[in-house]
Chain A
Amino acid sequence: MRPISWNGPMWTAAEIVDRLRERGELWEPVRGAVGLRGETLRLYEELAAAIGTLTRSVAEEEWRVPAVLDFASLARADYFASFPQWLTVASHLSSDPGRLERLARSADPAGLVGAMSDPCEAALPPAVCYHVYPRFAGQRVDSPTLVTVEGTCWRHEGKRLFPLERGWAFTMREVVCLGTRDAVETFRRRGIAATRALLATLGLGGEVLPATDPFFAPTARGRRILQALKGLKHELRLPSGPAADLAAASFNHHENFFGEAFKIRLPDGTPAASGCVAFGLERWLLAFLATHGPDSAAWPSIFPDTPWKRTVSNPMEEAS
């Protein structure tokens, strides 16, 4: 992968993570799930707030979504034919007294938990926008409808997991747009412009490039080609080291895929189009640290008095 242009010195992701671990500000109790504290947490929260402000400025509503999704909604969204390779599911310990007693008496209860659990009952969300479409199922959207959501997402990517860069659990902030095809495309392009403005404020390099999703076989190639051919997906790639970059945001046009799947209609009765702009917050943290270094004295201010917040009240509408 080609590095994104950036003129300054860069830290590697490994150097950043080592430094944060030394300071006790990052830990990973389970591979792929990180905790943060101290200055690093403060920075993360500021970045999350900046991105949250950007998305709230365009969305009519903010939702607090539950921690799990039902399988039926994912099936309706064709998830199991699209990205089943990532899915994480939730179960619980069996309520059977015999099993619980066996666990309680075991010398190695941690090793027995899997065997003593019931079948899984819910999915941990692989993207927060999957919470949104089912709530509009069967409804009509009379004008562009925008919702913003933030939550923990789960994607198990095996050996590729690395703290902050590729988490099993990570935080996603999204804006979902439902409306006409043109309205969704306008929303997507404004999202790209507003995100570029935020990059400049944060002193980050980066490029928005065409991209495709890693669809699961056997339909993967056809879906990937169509997505690329129609220009339906772009990613913001941020530098994350001297010769590395990562996708820190994506700008997606779904055409009428979710509108058809969930019977979301326009006033003329045709399926609504949808799109989403998604930000991976831990990746913004890593890119910021790789660019500006792990020591807070070198970080540019992104607190409430920073210029973009004062002057850009509605960046997705004003940027173009």
Chain B
Amino acid sequence: MSTADRMLAWLNRRFAEGGRTIGYRTLLFEDGLIDSIRILEIIAWVEEASGRTVPDSQISMDRFASVERIAAHFLERSDVDGR
């Protein structure tokens, strides 16, 4: 399982409510799915998985809108290419 797969599984376990499923391209910041606490949990998860700090300045919609974008910018490249 790639890091992106693990992230997706974690997000669905943690945040998916009411029968909805979060996919690679699900927009995380629509419909109030991610609030101000959850965004910090996501950042912490990405930091732990990547072994790198994610500075606030690096968090843009281009890089954080979906698991696909997060994987492309913060997790190993192979996580995206190999899924």
Complexed CA–CA distance, A228 and B59 (Å): 9
Find the A residue at minimum CB distance from B30.
A230
Is the pair B29, A230 in contact by a Cβ cutoff of 8 Å?
yes
Contact string against B for A residues 217-233, beta-carbon threshold 8 Å, 1 for contact and 0 otherwise = 00101111110111100
Contact B56 A221 (CB under 8 A): yes
Cβ contact within 8 Å between A221 and B40: yes
For B29, list chain A residues within 8 Å (CB). Answer: 226, 229-230
**B37 on interface, CB distance cutoff 8 Å:** yes
Whether, in the assembled complex, B74 has its beta carbon less than 8 Å from a beta carbon of chain A, the answer is no
Interface residues of A in 225-247 (CB under 8 A from B): 225-226, 228-231
Q: Does B35 contact A (CB under 8 A)?
A: yes
Q: Roughly how many angstroms separate A255 CA and B40 CA in the complex, as a whole number? A: 20
Q: Which residue from A222, A230, A231 sits with its C-beta under 8 Å from B37?
A: A222
Report the separation of the CA atoms of residues A221 and B37 in the bound assembly, to the nearest whole angstrom: 9
Residues of B21-74 whose CB lies within 8 A of A: 29, 32, 34-40, 43, 56, 59-61, 64
Are the C-beta atoms of A228 and B56 separated by less than 8 Å? yes
Q: How far is the CA of A222 from the CA of B38 in the complex (A)?
A: 8
Please tell me if the beta carbons of B61 and A229 are within 8 angstroms of each other in the complex. yes
A222 touches B64 (CB 8 A): no
Residue among A221, A225, A230 with max Cβ neighbours from chain B (10 Å): A225
Instruction: Choose among A219, A222, A231, A255 the residue with the greatest number of B CB atoms under 10 Å from its CB.
Output: A222
Residues of A within 8 A of B37 (CB): 219, 222
B64 cross-chain contacts in A, Cβ below 8 A: 229
Q: Quote the shortest CB–CB distance from A235 to chain B (angstroms).
A: 17
Residues of B within 8 A of A231 (CB): 61
B60 → chain A closest CB, angstroms: 7
Q: What residues of B have a CB within 8 angstroms of the CB of A219 in the complex?
A: 36-37
Chain A CB within 10 Å — which of B36, B56, B59 has the most?
Answer: B36
- A222 B59 Cβ-Cβ under 8 A: no
What chain B residues lie within 8 Å of A256 (beta carbons)? 32
* Chain A proximity of B27: nearest CB distance (Å): 11
8 closest A-B pairs by CB: A222-B36, A223-B36, A222-B40, A222-B39, A219-B36, A226-B36, A225-B39, A225-B59
**Sample of 8 A–B contacts (CB below 8 Å):** A219-B36, A222-B39, A225-B56, A226-B36, A228-B56, A229-B39, A229-B60, A230-B29
Known: A222-B38, A225-B40, A228-B56. 16 other contacts (CB 8 A): A222-B35, A222-B36, A222-B39, A223-B36, A224-B56, A225-B36, A225-B56, A225-B59, A226-B29, A226-B35, A226-B39, A229-B39, A229-B59, A231-B61, A255-B32, A256-B32
